[in-house]
Structures are given as C-alpha cells and as structure tokens.
A and B are shown apart, each in its own frame.
Chain A
Amino acid sequence: MPRNPWRQLLARLPEHEPPEEAWNRIEAHLEAQSNGGRAIALAYLDGLRTGDFAASPFTPDFVCTTPIGRMDQREFLDAVRNLARLLRSVELEGMMASTDKACLRYILHFRDGRPDFHAVDWLSLEAGKIRAVNAYFDASGLFNQMSA
C-alpha cells in the first residue's frame, strides 16, 4: 500500500509511465533541485568570505533581514564586502537544502583575533537565485566584536 499521497495520485493516472517509474523520476528531479540549492548555498557562503557573489545571484527584489535591520541588495553587498576584509575564514558547521530553501550554520573567524562569530542564514531560493536571506545571530555579540 503506497504511503505517499503522490504515489496514490500517480497510480490513478492511465496511459502514463508506471507509477513507480514516474515517482522515481520525480524524486530524481527533486534531488537535482535540492543539489542545486546546496550549490547556491555553498557559493553564497564563499561570497561571505570573498565579497563576490557572482556564483550565487540575487533576484531584483532581494532582501536580507537581520536582528539589526533589513538590507536591499546594494546595502547587503556593501556590508558583506566591508565584513569580508576582516575575515580570515568562514567555517561551515552544517547545511540543509530543499528545492526552494537552504539553511547554513557557520562561524566567522576574524584575521585580528576577534572572537568567533556564530550565525545561521536561511536562504529563500527562486529559479536558481537567492530571493531572501534571513540571518540569525546575537547582535550584541557582533557589536562587541566589531568594537574589539
């Protein structure tokens, strides 16, 4: 008995490929999209380190929401490029991705010995581009580090 409702739906379709094959094809498609999401998320993470986001393009209405405010694309790029100059490396602690979203957990390591900075970014993806970033971090920790 199929447990997945998609399998039940496919089983009702006449004159199509066998449900099992159709489902395998759909799963492969979703997996490929998820892998695309992972690739974009990894390119985004590299962009945090370098300030270069050519490999992880943004949609025109891109917005980044953080505990210290919202930024459009230009404001976001300015902020990240300023931050990138201070960074020694960006360490990926974990990543999850689906067809339309990705979650990145990472640590920023600074060049001058400032304390490490821990954050999680949620990326909303649309047609291979990043539509939104929701960043979660302790803003008081950030301010302490920027003034250290």
Chain B
Amino acid sequence: MAGNSGIVKRYLDALVAKEFETLPLAEDIVHVSPFGTVKGRKPFVEACKLVVSETKEIAILDLLEEGDSVSVRYEAVTPVRRMPITEWYTLKDGLITRIDAYFDGAAASASASAA
C-alpha cells in the first residue's frame, strides 16, 4: 500500500505495536474526537499511549484515499470488545497533520473502564 494510504496504514500499525516514536505525525498535528481537541505531536502521542494501551489489533474494514485525505473505518480490538471507529486523515509532505475521529464517546469510555 503506497502513497497517503500507506502512511496511514503505517500509523495504525505503529499504534498497535506501541512504537510511538515512529508515528508519522506532523509537529503541529490536530486531533479532533468526541473527547475534545488535542494539538501538537507530544500531547497527542501521550494521549495515544493511554488510548491504545489495551488495543491488540486494528482491523481495517474500509479505506479510501483522495488527494491529501484518507478515510479509514476500522475496529479497535481490545480484550473486552471491538470498538467501531472511523477517522478522516489530512496529510502533507508524508506526515499526518490532522485526524478527525468519529466514534461513540460513551461506548469508548465504557470500553476503557472495562479493560
């Protein structure tokens, strides 16, 4: 998988592997989700460490790419459930500059509590 889709796939693989230093993120990345907005690579990576701590697999269901954007829908698999998520990525110069994440915030919170 090449191009921006490949970069997003590499990002998701690195999340599952907990290889946070290799995440292809811009320094000024913006992440928007039902939990709020996180700006900057360092705070976002710290948030990632918490969110994916129980994630064993990211099962990609669909992926589309157009221009500087990639959209992915997947299930984040933890020991207690499969969390449906879709994310809309914006990329520039081989790095992810923005992620808009769509999921049910209440279900995600319940999943985190149960893990």
Contact = CB atoms under 8 A, between A and B. Distances in A.
Closest 4 CB pairs of A and B: A67-B104, A138-B34, A96-B64, A136-B102
Interface string A116-148: 001110100000000000101111110000000
Interface residues of B, number: 20
Given A101-B64, A118-B102, A134-B61, 17 more contacts: A67-B103, A96-B69, A98-B64, A102-B64, A120-B71, A120-B73, A122-B62, A122-B73, A134-B84, A134-B86, A136-B84, A136-B86, A137-B104, A138-B102, A138-B103, A138-B104, A139-B107
A14 interface: no
A28 to B, nearest CB: 18
A101 B105 contact: no
A119 B105 contact: no
B46 interface: no
B65 interface: yes
A134 to B, nearest CB: 7
